[in-house]
Amino acid sequence: MPKIIILPHIEICPNGEVIEAKPGLSICENLLQNHIDIEHACDQVCACTTCHVIVREGFDTLNHADDLEEDLLDKAWGLEPKSRLSCQAIVDQHDLTIEIPRYTINMAKEG
């Protein structure tokens, strides 16, 4: 099974984490199933940017971003060349290392 290495994030995952990922699910689904509470304000339908991640290793093993995702990413805080919306990035058989940006454009958090 592939692993997702989550780099430390001050609120979501202060010490970082390594999780077993299920191929065929998105990065976001894998994180949520492993109690990594990444924001996903649009409920994973590619309508916001709150689940934005930067793929530090394994970017080329993910499915390609479609035009809608690319357009939304332009609005994401901290956009980098290897940024993806985690709800749209499907895990395959390869390990990934991701960074969750410190901020999102979400003005209100649930919870």
Superfamily of domain covering 3-99:
Beta-grasp domain (3.10.20.30)
Within 13 A of 57's CA, how many CA atoms are on the CB side? 10
Instruction: Tally Cβ neighbours within 10 Å of residue 1.
Output: 10
Domain residue ranges in the chain: 3-99
Q: How many residues does the chain have?
A: 111
pLDDT of amino acid 107: 47
- When pLDDT is cut at 50, 70 and 90, the band that residue 106 belongs to is low
**Overall average pLDDT of the 33-38 stretch:** 96
pLDDT digits (tens, 9 = 90+) for 39-74: 998 999 999 999 999 999 999 999 999 999 999 999
Q: How far apart are CA 58 and CA 43, in angstroms?
A: 25
Output the CA torsion 63→97→6→71 (10° steps).
-40
Please give the mean pLDDT across all residues of the chain.
Answer: 93
Which tokens hold the place of 99?
A: 């960074």
pLDDT of amino acid 102: 86
